[in-house]
Amino acid sequence: MNHFPIEFPRRAAMALFGGAVAAGALGAAPSARAAQGTRMQQVIPVPESVREAPGVRFELGPDSAIGADPAAAAVAEYLAGVLRPATGYALPTGERGDLVLRLDDAGLGQAGYRLEVTAETVTLRAGTPEGLFNGVQTLRQLLPPQIESAGPQPGPWPIPGGAIADRPRFGHRAAMLDVARHFFGVEQVKRYIDQIARYKINFLHLHLSDDQGWRIEIESWPRLTEHGGSTEVGGGPGGFYTQQDYAEIVRYAASRHITIVPEIDVPGHTNAALSSYAELNCDGVAPPLYTGIEVGFSSLCVDKDISYRFLDEVIGEIAALTPGPYLHIGGDEADATTDEQYRAFMRRALPIVRAHGKTVVGWHEYAKATPQNPAVVQYWGTDPADPEAAEVAAAAARGSKILMSPANRSYLDMKYDESTELGLSWAGYVEVADAYGWDPAAHLQGVGEESVLGVEAPIWTETLENSAQLEVMAFPRLPAIAELGWSPAATHDWESFRARLAAQAPRWEAAGIGFTRSPQVPWP
């Protein structure tokens, strides 16, 4: 599936620190100069509230230690793992230290946190380990960029004094990785997980099946991977995850407070499955494997009972391996079915997902099948005036939650401009300003803030074959989508964002993350 068709406004009431809020917090947006020069004003996503303490700074040193509540021990070890390589410091973890992680009621919800930096201590407080983990991502951006290096650097390691109170606008902030068009192995997926975690992304949607490849082992249907996983776009060797591999991805993502959302795309985008099992075809004849990028030509046989036994067994095995609440059923570009056939298929398919204990997610075409709530409709369109957008609004009116990923705003595989070597352009060119310049809660008429589950930044891989290629397409646009999902709408300011984005470049360079130097950003 690639959908490839033939100063902040002042809000005095939110002074979270109980006193006057300094400029650059809830008072005024940081200017480009401030964002380039003050690390408290460089954070992406921009925090809800920042209060600087001029002249105050904490110095991370060789005697520093991380003190954490026992329930926060895993986050403490993660923080130590971030800081040790570049500093060379031991940074022991225990109950006492000058870097303090505390689990208490910070009053900022499941994912929010409070961070206070004085000359003596750095104190991070949150109600949950997830909140502490989000605070760690902010803390690492307060350190010099060299903190992201894999080997010892000379330092020093100052952290500017002040306080931050922060929480997400939307609870669902996702990235999507297509491993079906080109296969990406476990270590490559882990690398991407670490990269998206930096920007407080908390869901990773894995597109596990398509016409070009089936990428997840199904023990009851072994030829799906033996045959269907044996190639990819362009005719390469393909690949697949064993169930143990997939469980390792799920575990690793959870250690970064990221939930995996698996997708098995049906009834279309199914040539790899149809080629693996002839009986899934209406005529009983298996088509050859497919390595092109056209879409819309394949479909499970809607009228055969075996199609639903197949779906039940596949979804059952994947659901058992997936602790998260969601399972994505695809549903897009089913051009080989009539509307009547499509609705008939969904009437039988959607209860299967629910029977296995998962909330169904589908691309926005499935809204016409009026899925029973709870259900999530993922909008990928490019024209808010399109009739399908009205169907999404109707689904929202029925109580479905809408996940926003408009292709001409959030698809990270779209070319930046005509000179971009990788990617496609069927949804248009998507520069950084395009990725940042929209409001998820105002993009579709009839889909307001209360109906939006969150945002997602998909990256399709028809033209992408390795991690380096993923990175130059994801960065710097992924942080733009992340900020739209996390930060209050009133904080969204292009001039501030582009300056803060420029300040991320030395961090990416230190971490070995490739990125595209968009001319829209004043890179250092």
- Tell me the C-alpha distance between 193 and 196, whole Å: 5
Among 52, 333, 431, 462, the one annotated catalytic: 333
> d(Cα 132, Cα 237) in Å, to the nearest integer?
41
Least Cα distance to 318 among 354, 286, 356 occurs for 356
Please say whether the beta carbons of 362 and 318 come within 8 A: no
Q: Give the H/E segment covering residue 204.
A: strand 203-207
The continuous run of DSSP H or E covering 306 comes out as helix 305-321
- Full DSSP string of 19-88: S---TTTTSSPPPHHHHHH-GGG--SSPPSEEEEEEEEEEEE-TT--EEE-GGGHHHHHHHHHHHHHHH-
Whose tokens are 């900020």? That residue is: 483
CA gap 352, 360 in Å, rounded: 10
DSSP 414: B
What is the distance between the alpha carbons of residues 244 and 73, in angstroms, rounded to a whole number?
A: 26
- Residue pair 49/106 in contact by the 8 Å Cβ criterion: no
How distant, in Å, are the alpha carbons of 4, 270, 415 from that of 423? 12, 23, 5
Residue 102: C-alpha distances to residues 67, 87, 108, 144, 165 (Å): 8, 23, 14, 24, 14
The answer to whether the beta carbons of residues 180 and 210 sit under 8 Å apart is yes
- In order, the DSSP letters of 113-165 are EEEEE-SS-EEEEESSHHHHHHHHHHHHHHS-GGGG-SS-----EEEEEEEEE
- Cα–Cα distance between 185 and 361 in angstroms, integer? 24
Distance (Å, whole) CA 401 – CA 441: 12
Beta bridge partners of residue 359, listed in sequence order: 326
Q: What angle do CA 483, 488, 491 make, to 5 degrees?
A: 80
**Is 313 a known active-site residue?**
no
Tell how many helices (H) and how many strands (E) occur in the chain: 15, 17
Cβ atoms 332, 379 nearer than 8 A: no
Q: What angle do CA 236, 516, 172 make, to 5 degrees?
A: 80
Residue 268 near residue 334 (C-beta atoms within 8 A): yes
Report, as residue numbers or ranges, the catalytic residues: 333
